[in-house]
Amino acid sequence: MRKLLLALLFSAPLWVLGQGFQVNLQGQKQIGMAGAGSALALDEASIFFNPGAVTFLEKNSISAGVNPLLFKSAFKQNGSNITENVKNKIAPPFEAYAVWGPKSNKWKLGLGVYTPFGGLVDWGNDWSGRYALTSLNLKAIYFQPTLSVKITDRIGIGAGFVY
């Protein structure tokens, strides 16, 4: 029995499917590192990932990016062989960051404008769930002014407000 439960537990990620609205596409370098650079001062996207690292950026700079997403969803009713699919549409989540501060690097100001959540779904008017939902266009645009202060050569703290 234990072996069966253990096998089911380890196979769970293979058969559990989920769909949400979080879009983890903030910063091109972070995307390239699969988010593993959160503790590093890679670029201006540190405003989102680690505001304390912003003070360790060497120069004042601006960065921006767009990452097109193609949302695909399918629905199959219990007891039916028909699979219904959404119409393919592209959502353009974006990010833009600016960092400014004196050359002494004692402190830096930053501003981030990004979309951490979003979704675009269009099932059309003929699908079986049309009375619950036909389309969804969810956009969350965040504005984050940030201040970062260098405490030591290796420690910085930062804070920002998200609007």
| Gap between the Cα atoms of 90 and 36, Å rounded | 27
Question: Number of folded domains in the chain?
Answer: 1
The tokens describing 54, both together, are 């912003």
Domain presence at residue 30: yes
| Gap between the Cα atoms of 36 and 55, Å rounded | 19
- pLDDT score recorded for residue 12: 66
Domain presence at residue 38: yes
Domain presence at residue 130: no
Domain presence at residue 146: yes
- pLDDT score recorded for residue 144: 97
Domain presence at residue 9: no
Contacts of 35 (CB under 8 A, 6+ apart): 24, 49
| Gap between the Cα atoms of 27 and 53, Å rounded | 14
Range of the domain at 45: 24-68+90-119+139-160
- pLDDT score recorded for residue 100: 96
| Gap between the Cα atoms of 84 and 113, Å rounded | 36
- pLDDT score recorded for residue 17: 59
In the three-class reduction of DSSP (H, G, I as helix; E, B as strand; rest coil), residue 94 is classed as strand
- pLDDT score recorded for residue 13: 64
- pLDDT score recorded for residue 19: 62
The tokens describing 123, both together, are 């099932």
Give how far Cα 117 sits from Cα of 9, 47, 155, Å.
30, 17, 30
Tens digit of pLDDT per residue, the chain (163 long)? Answer: 888 888 877 776 655 556 677 787 888 888 888 777 777 888 899 999 999 999 999 899 999 998 888 777 788 888 888 888 888 778 888 999 999 999 887 999 999 999 988 878 888 888 888 888 888 888 889 999 999 999 999 999 999 999 9
Domain presence at residue 19: no
Domain presence at residue 133: no
Domain presence at residue 53: yes
